[in-house]
């Protein structure tokens, strides 16, 4: 994920671990929940 500011050099890169819970209803998939957190120094 990259956060960008108004200037061309104003940006910050972060790595996040994200997970979602999906549910199929009437032939369509929907996200019903999820969470995200930054990774540690080991990428975990």
- Give 2-44 pLDDT, tens digit per residue: 666 676 666 777 788 999 999 999 999 999 999 999 888 887 7
* Predicted pLDDT at 43: 76
User: Considering only CA atoms, which of 15, 41, 19 is closest in space to residue 31?
Assistant: 19
Asked, for residue 20, whether it belongs to a domain, the answer is: yes
Asked, for residue 25, whether it belongs to a domain, the answer is: yes
Q: Is the dihedral of CA 39, 40, 41, 43 positive or negative?
A: negative
* Predicted pLDDT at 15: 84
pTM: 0.50
Asked, for residue 19, whether it belongs to a domain, the answer is: yes
Q: Domain tally for the chain?
A: 1
* Predicted pLDDT at 2: 62
Asked, for residue 9, whether it belongs to a domain, the answer is: yes
Q: Are 11 and 2 in contact (CB under 8 A)?
A: yes
């Amino acid at each position: 994920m990259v956060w960008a500011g108004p200037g061309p050099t104003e940006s910050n890169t972060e790595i996040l671990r994200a997970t979602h819970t999906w549910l199929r209803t009437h032939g369509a998939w929907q996200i019903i929940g999820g969470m995200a957190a930054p990774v540690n120094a080991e990428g975990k």
